[in-house]
Amino acid sequence: MKFIDEYQDTRLARGLARRIAQHSTKTVRLMEFCGGHTHAILRYGIRQLVPRTVELRSGPGCPVCVTASADLDKAIALAHVPGVIITTFGDMIRVPGSYSSLQKAKAEGADVRVVYSTIDAVEIAKANPRNSVILIGIGFETTAPTIAASILKAQQDRIENFYVLSLNKLTPPVMKALLDSGEVKLDGIVGPGHVSVIIGSHPYEFIPRDYGVACVISGFEPLDILLCIDKLVEQIAEGEPKVEIAYPRGVKPEGNRKARQLMEEVFEIGEANWRGIGIVPESGLKIGGKYEQFDADKAFSVSLKPSKEPKGCRCGDVIRGTATPLECRLFRKVCTPERPVGPCMVSSEGACAAYYQYGAAEDL
Amino acid sequence: MCPSFTVETVKNRSTGQESRVCIKGEFGLKYRAVCLAIPVKVVSIDGDEAETEIGGVRRRVSIAFTPEAKVGDYVLLHTGYAITVVDEAEAEETLKLLEEIASLSEVH
Amino acid sequence: MDDTILLAHGSGGKLSHELVAKEFLPFLANPALNKLDDSAIFEASGRLAFTTDGYVVNPIFFPGGDIGKLAVCGTVNDLSMSGAMPLYLSLSAIIEEGFLLRDLERIVQSIKKAAEEAGVSIIAGDTKVVNRGQADRLFITTSGVGTVPPRVDISGANARAGDKVLLSGTIGDHGMAIMSQREGLKFSMTLKSDCAPLNRLVSQMLEVSSRVHCLRDPTRGGLATTLNELARQSNAGITIEEARIPVKEEVKAACELLGLDPIYVANEGKLVAIVDPADADKILARMRKNRYGRDAAVIGEIINQHQGKVVMKTRLGPSRIVDMLSGELLPRIC
């Protein structure tokens, strides 16, 4: 498969690994902000390919994982409203909320459907005119344009029974929040490749400028990630942090203007509630006034019991990068993909699920 | 055998009665919705949609965000939308760089 | 108007008899079945193998097969995995009211063809009809009986350190062929399910070697789950190499599109064999001569470490643990 296979070449990977080892003299701590990277790093065994001086930490890059309990509880409550069809992306279904889950709601009779694309959700609305179809809008800047497009399509086709519960979040603000908190001392950031396809590289300039942290945007094949790590190690060694694109076949500095236009047309920026982090200002997308007829928050009101986190769950720490899944006492012993305690084990982008699935042979 | 259900306590919404039932492990598709974007080749264009192909598999995608895509281009596909046209010149450059790195580090 | 199944077809009365006489008997005819007694009588000696399976695949017609073919091959293969020669199957069908008769005929034809290829007879059967909405079109259960030749001892518990792990062909074909038919995914490909009866392949393998220790078909949960089962049963460590596992290009592409790993995707015409290393080469050669073993490969071996676990050496070099599939990757895959 073109543009995939070439970036999995063993010989080239070894070359990069050797170069990183040659240039890495002091310990550096890097963090990725994309669940896809967390998954790829574990699947391809990147940690075993790079020297021990390169430390990789997972950050808040899994949109399912960073969805606050209160928001998930709201989605579950909406599922029980008579006549509502909930449409959601795959993993959301199994995440345990404070008292239930979308899967459990489904078993209790709610109509909850998994969709692959936002377009499917609009089509379900078209096919079920007497139901209210609510799309649970999670994701970062890669997905936000597709949700905006679905609202525009619904408007264009005069669909009046389509709603979005907008839980979309933005990446640069949460990076800033984490750097501000100073909880994890970072030397470099592995920039999210597909978020950057949309937003470009400019939004990350505050990272080297205000925090002295290097930022290199990475693709998702093993060679992409290794190249990114190589550039980060080099930047850090030279003491000249900047924003670099190590995924130029996908990311342009200016990003995708058309996609951003659609986002700006439909959404307004507001605060968002991130699991494990709390409220982060200007980090969430709310549906703008012009399109408020599609806003599930305005169209429906549900009463909720106070939200709570599962006992002993360290997802918050894992999301913030202050703990790895291995440091959570519930990991593997109590919390497993079949019986997940928190979202990090449920979502295939979650750090815990990735560690569980691809645990290095060294961990044996 | 991998169990495909869990047993949980479920409350009947109208009677309030609780019972233990088997909940099918309908985990939906284990696909990675959020960051996953795959390079696919544009085979034909039809308005703001395109027929694309990868490894013999065909899929229709929206090119609403990439109106400049042409037949023969590769685009990155994310949940049914093409989010950018793959820059093939840059791809070549990256591979060349990786080749150089590999040869240089082999010499040492 | 298309003829459909009515509730009365399952009531045991006139319509039921008509259904059996018109839709099943003509195709599956054999002396035992034709007698239409309450049970079939047959003679067999020595050790017998017995198995049963339910089939709820959705959709019931898919590229490369249908629920009927699946039901026959699945049970034939389960018997073969014990080294048994499959002889007789029973067939129980639960049909939803309104099911099209012509679809039923198509499926019975499929069953007949699969049974003929495998060399088995359906000697007992039953049909029930339930109200519309109480079964999704058609569910089939098949049970099967076969004879195990003397001195054949094949079991998941028999793997020994040093054994080689053989795989009969490409993985993920069935699961992805099914996926391509699922609503909402909208991808199309030419890939067909690999659904096939493997009893002849197995008997050929057993002809060239008496040192086949384990056989298993990687159905639900895929290759990864099956290897884990074997590792646990034998309390042995299994190590495999990702680069040696054969996967079709289309399957790779479809898995990329959906973010799936082929080692967890169901197969319906493949087997894993764990064999004595001295015989591995000749068993492999014999497998490759069979149409269902053309792409057979050695993918790994049994070792004296990490007992009960499966470790895979990835393409780039690092090893990782391969666990069982948790939950259901693709619901109603078989």
Q: What is the 3-state secondary structure (H, E, C) of B53-100?
A: EECCEEEEEECCCCCCCCCCCEEEEECCEEEEECCHHHHHHHHHHHHH
DSSP letters for C84-117: -EEEEEEEEEEEETT-BHHHHHHHHHHHHHHHHH
Task: Please give the average per-residue pLDDT across C293-313, as a whole number.
Answer: 96
Q: Which of A86-95, C176-185, C205-214 has the lowest mean pLDDT?
A: C176-185
Mean pLDDT for chain C overall = 92
Estimate to the nearest angstrom the gap between the alpha carbon of B26 and the chain centroid: 20
pLDDT at B3: 44
User: Could you list the residue range(s) of the whole structural domain that residue A277 is in?
Assistant: 69-170+255-299
Q: Are the C-beta atoms of residues A358 and A352 closer than 8 Å to each other?
A: no
Shortest Cα–Cα distance, B11 to chain C (Å):
23
* Residue C133 in contact with partner chain A when CB distance is under 8 A: no
Report the number of distinct structural domains present in chain A.
3
User: What's the CATH number where A261 sits?
Assistant: 3.40.50.11740
Q: How many CB pairs under 8 A join A and B?
A: 190
Quickly tell me which residue has 């990068």 as its tokens.
A321
Q: Containing H/E element for C195? A: none
Q: Are residues A109 and A183 in the same domain?
A: no
Helix (H) / strand (E) containing B104: helix B88-107
Whether the CB-CB separation of C123 and C87 falls below 8 Å is answered with no
Tokens of A74: 């709201």
Q: Compute the distance between CA of residue C14 and CA of residue A20 in angstroms, rounded to an integer.
A: 79
Spell out which residues of chain A touch residue B25, defining contact as CB-CB under 8 Å: 338
pLDDT digits (tens, 9 = 90+) for A20-47: 999 898 999 999 999 899 989 988 999 9
Q: Is B4 on the interface with C (CB under 8 A)?
A: yes
Encoded tokens for A345: 């084990």
pLDDT computed for residue C325 by the predictor: 81
Q: Do A19 and A31 sit in the same domain of this protein? A: yes
Residue B26 has pLDDT above 60, yes or no: no
Higher pLDDT, A353 or A287: A287
Is A89 contained in some domain? yes
Find the mean pLDDT for residues C100-115: 95
Supply φ then ψ for residue A90, to 5 degrees. Answer: -30, -70
Q: What is the pLDDT of residue A362?
A: 56
Q: What is the mean predicted confidence (pLDDT) over C271-275?
A: 98
Name residue, tokens 């940690």. Answer: A47
* Residue C124: strand pairing partners: C90
Q: The domain spanning residue A30 has which CATH number?
A: 3.40.50.11750
C141-176: pLDDT as tens digits = 999 999 999 989 999 999 999 999 999 999 999 999
Question: How confident is the model at residue C189, as a pLDDT?
Answer: 85
Contact (CB<8Å) B39/A1: yes
Closest CA to C179 of C256, C247, C111: C256
Residue-wise pLDDT for A234-259, tens only, equals: 999 999 999 999 999 999 999 999 99
Instruction: Answer yes or no: do A293 and A355 share one domain.
Output: no
pLDDT confidence bin for B2, thresholds 50/70/90: very low
Q: Is the CB of B81 less than 8 angstroms away from the CB of A146?
A: yes
* Contacts of range C36-44, beta carbons closer than 8 Å, 24 or more positions apart: C39/C124, C40/C88, C40/C123, C40/C124, C42/C87, C42/C88, C42/C123, C44/C87, C44/C145, C44/C147
**pLDDT given for residue C183 in this prediction:** 65
Residues constituting chain C? 334
- A343 by Cβ neighbours in 10 Å (0-12 / 13-18 / 19+) ranks as buried
Asked whether residue A135 falls in the same domain as residue A271, the answer is yes
A346-360, C102-116, C222-236: range with lowest mean pLDDT: A346-360
Cα-Cα-Cα-Cα dihedral of C152, C153, C156, C159, to 10°? Answer: -110
φ, ψ at A261 (rounded to 5°): -60, -45
Q: Are residues A161 and A266 in the same domain?
A: yes
Q: Which residues of chain A make contact with B6, given a CB cutoff of 8 A?
A: 338-339
What is the pLDDT, as a whole number, of residue C258?
Answer: 82
Inside any domain, residue A310: no
Count of CB atoms situated within 10 Å of the CB of B91: 21
> Is A61 within the bounds of a domain?
no
Are residues A147 and A27 both part of a single domain? no
Q: Is residue B21 over pLDDT 80?
A: no
The pLDDT of A311-325, averaged and rounded, is 92
Establish if A306 belongs to a structural domain: no
With beta carbons under 8 A apart, name residues in chain A contacting C326: 336-338
Q: A300 burial class (0-12, 13-18, 19+ CB within 10 angstroms)?
A: middle
SS3 annotation, chain A:
CCCCHHHHCHHHHHHHHHHHHHHCCCCEEEEECCHHHHHHHHHCCHHHHCCCCEEEEECCCCCCCCECHHHHHHHHHHHCCCCEEEEECHHHHHCCCCCCCHHHHHHCCCEEEECCCHHHHHHHHHHCCCCEEEEEECCCCCCHHHHHHHHHHHHHCCCCCEEEEECCECHHHHHHHHHHHCCCCCCEEEECHHHHHHHCCHHHCHHHHHHCCEEEECCCCHHHHHHHHHHHHHHHHHCCCCEEECCCCCCCCCCCHHHHHHHHHHEEEEEEEECCCEEEEEEEEEECHHHHHHEHHHHCCCCCCCCCCCCCCCHHHHHHCCCCHHHCCCECCCECCCCCCCHHHHCCCCHHHHHHHHCEHHHC
* Tokens representing residue A336 in the block: 């497993």
Residue A260 shares a structural domain with residue A225: no
> Are the Cβ atoms of B30 and C329 closer than 8 angstroms?
yes
**Closest Cα in chain C, distance from residue B9 (Å):** 18
Q: Which of C108, C206, C102, C101 is nearest to C149 (CA)?
A: C206
> Could you give the ipTM of this predicted complex?
0.92
* Domains in chain B: ranges and CATH: 32-108 (2.30.30.140)
pLDDT digits (tens, 9 = 90+) for C55-77: 999 899 999 999 999 999 999 99
Residue B31 confidence (pLDDT)? 46
Q: Is the pLDDT of residue C222 over 70?
A: yes
Specify the length of chain B in residues: 108
Distance from CA of C277 to the nearest CA of A (A): 25
The average pLDDT across B84-98 equals 96
Q: Give, in order, the Cα–Cα distances in Å from A101 to each of A106, A348, B21.
A: 9, 17, 15
Q: Do residue A152 and residue A269 come from a single domain?
A: yes
Does residue A64 fall inside a structural domain? no
Could you tell me which residue, C35 or C334, shows the higher pLDDT?
Answer: C35
Q: In the structure encoding, which two tokens stand for residue C125, read together?
A: 């059967």
Q: Is residue A10 domain-resident?
A: yes
Claim to verify: residue A33 and residue A148 sit in the same structural domain: no
The pTM (predicted TM-score) of the whole model is 0.90
CB of C184 less than 8 A from some CB of A: yes
Cα separation, A282 vs A163, whole angstroms: 22
Q: Does B82 touch chain C (CB under 8 A)?
A: no
Q: In which band, very low, low, confident or very high, does the pLDDT at C228 lie, cut at 50, 70 and 90?
A: very high
Q: Is the pLDDT of residue C285 over 70?
A: yes
Put simply, whether C151 touches A (Cβ < 8 Å) is no
Angle, helices C67-80 vs C199-208, to 10°: value is 20
The per-residue pLDDT of chain A, averaged, comes to: 93
Tell me how many residue pairs between chain B and chain C have CB atoms under 8 A apart.
74
C249 contacts chain B (CB < 8 A): yes
CB count in 10 Å sphere of residue C170: 22
pLDDT of residue B12: 67
Task: Pick the more confident residue, A315 or B6.
Answer: A315
What's the pLDDT score for residue C25?
A: 86
How confident is the model at residue B28, as a pLDDT? Answer: 39
- The domains located in chain C, with CATH, are 7-148 (3.30.1330.10), 164-322 (3.90.650.10)
> Is there a single domain that holds both residue A194 and residue A235?
yes
CB contact set of C320 (below 8 Å; sequence gap of 6+): A42, A43, A45, A358, A359, A360, A361, C311, C312, C314
Mean pLDDT of A62-72: 93
Lowest model confidence (mean pLDDT) among A86-90, B75-79, C203-207, C273-277:
A86-90
With an 8 Å Cβ cutoff, is C244 touching chain A? no
pLDDT bracket for residue C195 (50, 70, 90): very high
> Does A40 touch chain C if contact means CB atoms closer than 8 Å?
no
* Chain A partners within 8 Å of C315 (Cβ): 8, 10
> A116: which chain C residues are within 8 Å (Cβ-Cβ)?
184-185
Residue B29 pLDDT class (50, 70, 90 cuts): very low
Q: Under 8 Å CB-to-CB from C208, ≥6 apart: which residues?
A: C279, C282, C283, C286
Q: What pLDDT shows up at residue B5?
A: 58
Cα–Cα distance, A263 to A249 (Å, whole number):
23
Q: Are A276 and A317 in contact (CB under 8 A)?
A: yes
**What stretches of chain C show up as alpha helix (H) in DSSP?**
14-19, 25-28, 31-35, 67-80, 101-118, 173-179, 199-208, 222-234, 249-258, 280-289
Q: How far is A209 from chain B (nearest CA, A)?
A: 27
Has residue B27 got a pLDDT over 50? no
pLDDT in tens, C21-59: 888 888 888 888 888 888 899 998 899 999 999 999 989
Q: Rounded distance, CA C298 to CA A114, Å?
A: 38
Taking 50 as the threshold, does the pLDDT of residue C282 lie above it? yes
Q: For the segment A80-126, what is each residue's pLDDT rounded down to a tens digit?
A: 999 999 999 877 888 889 999 998 899 889 999 988 889 999 999 99
Q: Given CB atoms, is B20 within the 8 Å cutoff of chain A?
A: no
Contact A219, A41 (CB under 8 A): no
Domain match, A338 and A217 both: no
Instruction: Examine the domain organization and report whether A263 and A285 are in the same domain.
Output: yes
Is C319 in contact with A45 (Cβ distance < 8 A)?
yes
Min distance A3 CA to chain B CA atoms (Å): 7
Nearest-CA distance A172 → chain C (Å): 26
Residues 64-103 of B with CB under 8 A from A: 64-67, 74, 76, 78-81, 83-84, 86-88, 90-91, 93-95, 97-99, 101-103
Contacts of residues B67-70 at CB distance under 8 Å and 24 or more positions apart, as own/partner, are B67/A258, B69/B42, B69/B45, B70/B42, B70/B45
Instruction: Tokens for A309, please give them.
Output: 């986190």
Residue A109 sits at the chain C interface (C-beta within 8 Å): no
Mean of the pLDDT values across residues A152-176? 96
User: Which residue has 């492990």 as its token pair?
Assistant: B25
Give the distance, in angstroms, between the CA of residue A286 and the centroid of all CA atoms in the same chain.
17
CA angle C293, C111, C152 (to 5 degrees): 45
